[in-house]
Amino acid sequence: MKAHMITYGCQMNEYDSHLVQSQLVSFGADLVDSIDEADFVLVNTCAVRGKPVDKVRSLLGQLRKVKSQRPLVVGMMGCLAQLEEGQQMARKFEVDVLLGPGSLLDIGTALESNGRFWGLQFKDELHEHIPPSPQGKLQAHLTIMRGCDHHCTYCIVPTTRGPQVSRSPDDILRELDLQLAAGVQEVTLLGQNVNAYGVDGGARLAGYPSFADLLRMVGRSGVKRIKFTTSHPMNFTEDVAAAMAETPAVCDFVHLPVQSGSSRVLRRMAREYSRETYLGHIAAIKKHLPNVVLATDIIVGFPGETEEDFQETLSLYDEVGYDSAYMFIYSPRPGTPSYKHFEDLPRELKTERLQRLIVKQKEWSKLRNATKVGTVQEVLLRGDAHSEGFLEGHTRGNHPTVVPKAFGAEGAGVYPVLIGHSTPHMLYGQIVDADGQPLPEIPRLEAQAAALISPLQMA
């Protein structure tokens, strides 16, 4: 079997895709890079917002056309596959294999049931459900829990992924050891609500550490950099900030979704905290991590949001001073309380507010990024940038960074970088030696340099 996977959505979906790909390889399948080469195409879906759902709908329509021209088995997995909306889509577009987020290890059974074996040798378990580590990569994701026990009125996750289930610390550390043996230097701990780890259904699990203690445990493993996502403000204790400060491997980067700066809107969202409570968490984080890089999620145009409510979101952005933000227009999702009970705002109003928030975000990102100019940052360079002769990566604070290739630093690795220029969305610098002196750059064509410099001049 020649299999091709297409993934939409969050880092958790990327991790799930890696898990399923590992199983397919263990069965004897070959992974290929395009639909044209494949006889099995598996689409990992996201249902949190309407846009990724529309992308899946369009893709399934294209795959149905391919199926009419040659033999092809099409599968759909992930959050959308769990919903009636996705199941109706699957019937309409003649999807052959359907897997919900809780059934990822059933891919072999699903293919057997479909009647297409391709000579595969199916197994019940794969490394005790631990996927093989990514080879040749410096970064890896590590799932520590699945599902969510909160019930925000706009969110479909509790329906698609179910209640929170924390993974055992032994399994987490065993997978981490495999990743480190494969050369991973930066690991991102994943979960719908990582800082609630070990407290499933409101009760502390016997023998499970708190999330703060898990950070300390992972920090003692020898991994060079630790990040985590996503956190819920209701579960972000000061002990987590203290653990970050005490554990050198943990990056000074916190992604703490606020969703709205208005306490009234937060109540309608059932977020379980107020503006004041959230700002208290930010103050505790800054107390322990004075140089913290802060990111957030914001939903614009939630049903019932007034101009006054939106102004409170803008003022909260100024009060916190975020480095970056993921900003979304409210997307009504069938099956959520807000879809059932609240009236959506006009699209034009939501779009106009989003544009104002984007302006605010760019102002702060430009200001915060400018403070990095003239400093030396530890940058994990993943490999070639879009412009030939350059490498791209990110700092410990998650700032995207581009540098020219230098002698002794031609490829992926973790390097000190002197930042020479910044824009709202990018840092630019040079790799330096232990004394802070720039390494000699590898010569490149003027056209290559111009392709990178021209957007700087525009910025």
251 annotated ligand-binding residue: no
> In the structure encoding, which two tokens stand for residue 421, read together?
């220029």
DSSP letter (8 states) at residue 37: T
SS3 label, residue 86: helix
> In the structure encoding, which two tokens stand for residue 108, read together?
């072999």
Of residues 342, 357, 355, 346, the one with CA closest to residue 309: 357
CB-facing half-sphere around the CA of 173: CA atoms within 13 A: 15
46 annotated ligand-binding residue: yes
Of residues 83, 88, 85, the one with CA closest to residue 101: 83
Q: What is d(CA 197, CA 327) in angstroms, rounded to the nearest whole number?
A: 26
Single-letter amino acid, residue 430: Q
Asked if 248 and 287 count as a contact pair (C-beta separation under 8 A), the reply is no
> In the structure encoding, which two tokens stand for residue 356, read together?
């104002």
Asked if 57 and 16 count as a contact pair (C-beta separation under 8 A), the reply is no
148 annotated ligand-binding residue: yes
Of residues 224, 150, 250, 144, the one with CA closest to residue 191: 144
79 annotated ligand-binding residue: yes
Q: Which residues does the annotation place in the binding site?
A: 10, 46, 79, 148, 152, 155
Binding-site residue numbers for [4Fe-4S] cluster are 10, 46, 79, 148, 152, 155
